[in-house]
Amino acid sequence: MSPAEVQSRQEEPSSGATPEGGATLAEIARAAGVSAPTVSKVLNGRADVAPATRSRVEELLRRHGYRRRRGGMQQSQLLDLVFHELESAWAMEVIRGVENVARDEGLSLVLSESAGRLSPGQTWVDGVLARRPAGVILVLSDLDAAQRAQLTSRDIPFVVMDPAGDPGGVVPSIGATNWQGGLAATRHLVELGHRRIGVIGGPASMMCSRARIDGYRAALETAGLTVDPELIKRGNFHHESGYAIGLELLRLPDRPTAIFTGNDLQALGVYEAARELGLRIPEDLSVVGFDDLPLARWVGPPLTTVRQPLTEMAEAAARLVLDLGRDRRPAATRVELATSLVVRSSTAPPSR
């Protein structure tokens, strides 16, 4: 929803029978040549409508900018949270934030995974239409244009947390200052005296990962250091990726004395690669992670990392989507919460 759309919702009367969109349900039904209850079934994601009818009705809803009114409906008891991948302690931090807000608001949390695809499937969308949550929070996951239109016509608000793609100004979203985080991590290493600093990113399709690497570059360039493309690698956000790319970097003839990783799990993979090669951390290799998951404090040595306030970000996303559902205009529809460097014991001046 663009700021302009949010604005227009503000200006509408908050109750009454006036249709929100340009057409009433009866008009949509007439145009589609079906009964009003059939349109209602489509709006509610019911399965007992022929596919051809369903897509004709969806098309008309979209074309007429139909918007269901929430006023007369029973207050929703649910809040939907969708992950791209339901994995690792990372997801746990996010779940905890959304659960905090859900509990405060007397809502129950519905959890889904789009199972490795970056967009949730149509089955999921049908489920959302049927259960009518108070809002939808998508984590590292995005809806396509048709899915967005479906939710909008049912007046189900949605926000994206830490979007994988570039949601533009259209979709409200919550992120973190990834570029600043990359800058702070790399500056810390430069100030310790490191000159050959490797970096391991996440997938290039994820904007958060690109921003971190750009911050790394900026730190080197503003310090007057050369950016060596050989030291810039990309993997995925898993431990295995940190291990494999860590080995690759540490086996270079002129190996880096420090590595800034895309997240804490990758950093632990680099720990393992260093152990395997007999390199000590931080004496022979400094490592900086990203996220500050609880385990960053527990590993040996405790990990220097860029803290991303995941729980707070999830809380902000949940509050934003509920505000949108209540026709309260949020202060901003794109918010980035601050990252901060947490220095522990995995970084030290280089020994050579």
Dihedral class, residue 233 (left if φ above 0, else alpha if ψ from -120 to 50, else beta) = beta
- Least distance to its own copies, CB of residue 2, Å: 29
- Least distance to its own copies, CB of residue 275, Å: 6
Tokens of 63: 């074309």
Based on CB atoms, which residue is closest to its own copies, 213 or 318? 318
Based on CB atoms, which residue is closest to its own copies, 251 or 280? 280
Based on CB atoms, which residue is closest to its own copies, 15 or 345? 345
Based on CB atoms, which residue is closest to its own copies, 112 or 308? 112
- Give, rounded to a whole angstrom, the gap between the first and last alpha carbons of the chain: 54
Q: How does DSSP assign 309-344, residue by residue? A: -HHHHHHHHHHHHHHHHTTPPPS-SEEEEPPEEE--
Instruction: Give the Cβ contact number of residue 316 at 10 Å.
Output: 20
Based on CB atoms, which residue is closest to its own copies, 111 or 337? 111
- Least distance to its own copies, CB of residue 326, Å: 20
State yes or no: cis peptide before 301, omega within 30 of 0: yes
- Least distance to its own copies, CB of residue 123, Å: 7
Residue 214's contacts (CB-CB under 8 Å, 6 or more residues apart) are: 179, 182
Based on CB atoms, which residue is closest to its own copies, 83 or 216? 83
- Least distance to its own copies, CB of residue 277, Å: 13
Based on CB atoms, which residue is closest to its own copies, 112 or 304? 112
- Least distance to its own copies, CB of residue 170, Å: 26
Task: Find tokens 């897509």 and name the residue.
Answer: 55
Are the beta carbons of 206 and 140 closer than 8 angstroms? yes
- Least distance to its own copies, CB of residue 196, Å: 24
Identity of the residue numbered 145: A
Which residue, among 295, 284, 311, 309, has the nearest Cα to 344 in the 3D structure?
295
Based on CB atoms, which residue is closest to its own copies, 183 or 270? 270
Instruction: Give the Cβ contact number of residue 13 at 10 Å.
Output: 9
- Least distance to its own copies, CB of residue 135, Å: 15
Residues that bind its own copies (CB under 8 A): 77-78, 86-89, 91-92, 95-96, 99, 103, 106, 108-113, 115, 123, 127, 130-131, 239, 265, 268-269, 271-272, 275, 294-295, 297-301
SS3 285: coil
> Helices (H) and strands (E) in the chain — how many of each?
13, 12
Are the beta carbons of 156 and 133 closer than 8 angstroms? yes
